Amino acid sequence: MPTLIIIVGPTAVGKTDLCVKLAKWLVCDIVSCDSRQFYKELSIGTAKPSWKEMNGIKHHFIDSQGIEQLFSAGDFERDLSVFLEEYFKKNNVVIMTGGSGLFVDAVVNGLDDMPEAPIDLRADLMKRLENGEKEVIQNELKILDPEAYLSLDIQNTQRLIRALEVCLSTGKTYTSFKKKTQKEHFYEIIKIGIERPRNELYERINQRVDKMLEDGLLNEVDALRNFRSKNALQTVGYKEVFGYFDGEYDYATMVELIKRNTRRYAKRQMTWFKNKDKFEWFDAQAFESVKEFISNKII
């Protein structure tokens, strides 16, 4: 059976380095399922791997979309299925990696048939969001659907609004509409999670933010001012810079906000992956242990 190896973990944990080493060993390609690295215009703020970091390994779905396009988890699941149909005709193994839990879940478990919500309800929620009620909306979801509040990336406004509008329009939880049946695949799936001690991960996050700023994050965000309403830019590393440009706080505060919000995002990622699906967890530097685990699965 062809095999899809999924490697997940929080931001800055070291997924790229480990996956490139594994791809060299397995002689295979890598698929990115990072929901922001799809966009050509977003590089520094998404920590998109450089050519040097890719180390000759072909990466798919990076720079595959323009910022004006909406590329959902459903779009990714559909396009990945088409890609794998062709890829597995000539190859037996591919690695998929990223920290976007919803996109990973769409591939592993399929998509849910969610009910449509009234247009005026969404418009009302979006207006409230624009009026600065994001935290209020987050708390509403926490009350109506605690499970969705914990599992979703509630900083992602598109997912936040979608979950709450389902709750409000149906009187049921967003979680209750999740599929109970497992998606069938024509390939095997190996699920691996990588982690680091918290203090080590947080230090790596802080260092990454400093490097992003040195590499020109402010210039990248400045060039995207006309697209700031796009969902991909309502995320950590971009929204804080826009706040700085708007005069909401000074430079030092902006830097600390990016670091703090990135650490919080990493924590939410771990909560999702630890609770959502069954992954075999390894330390990010345990390359030989990961190799042994994969060998025992595919041989």
Domain spans of the chain?
A: 3-111+180-298, 119-177
Record: fold of 119-177: Histone, subunit A (1.10.20)
Q: Report the share of the chain in percent with pLDDT over 70.
A: 98
Whether residue 157 is predicted with pLDDT greater than 90 in this model: the reply is: no
Stretch 41-63: mean pLDDT, rounded? Answer: 96
Q: Which of 7-21, 128-142, 267-281 has the highest mean pLDDT?
A: 7-21
Query: Which of 6, 8, 15 shows the shortest CA–CA distance to 208?
Result: 15
Mean pLDDT on 212-232 = 94
Does residue 202 surpass a pLDDT of 80? yes
User: Residue-wise over 158-197: b if at least 16 C-beta within 10 A, else e?
Assistant: ebbbbbbbbbbeeeebbbeeeeeeeeeeeeeebbbbbbbe
Whole-Å CA distances, 77 to 53, 107, 111, 272: 26, 5, 8, 19
Tell me the per-residue pLDDT of 68-89, one tens digit each, with 9 for 90 and over.
887 888 889 999 999 999 999 9
pLDDT tens-digit readout, 172-194: 898 888 765 567 899 999 999 99
Q: Which two tokens stand for residue 57?
A: 């390994």
Query: Would you place residue 280 in the very low, low, confident or very high pLDDT band (cuts 50, 70, 90)?
Result: very high
| Domain 3-111+180-298 belongs in CATH node 2.120.10.30 | no
Task: Report whether 196 contacts 283 (CB < 8 A).
Answer: yes
How much is the pLDDT for 175? 87
Residue with tokens 């309502």: 234
Residue 124: which pLDDT band, with cuts at 50, 70 and 90?
Answer: confident
Which is more confident, 110 or 254?
Answer: 254
Count of CB atoms within 10 A of residue 248's CB? 12
Lowest mean pLDDT among 2-11, 159-168, 213-222: 159-168
Closest to 94 measured CA to CA, from 102, 105, 83, 110: 83
Q: Does position 103 have pLDDT exceeding 70, yes or no? A: yes
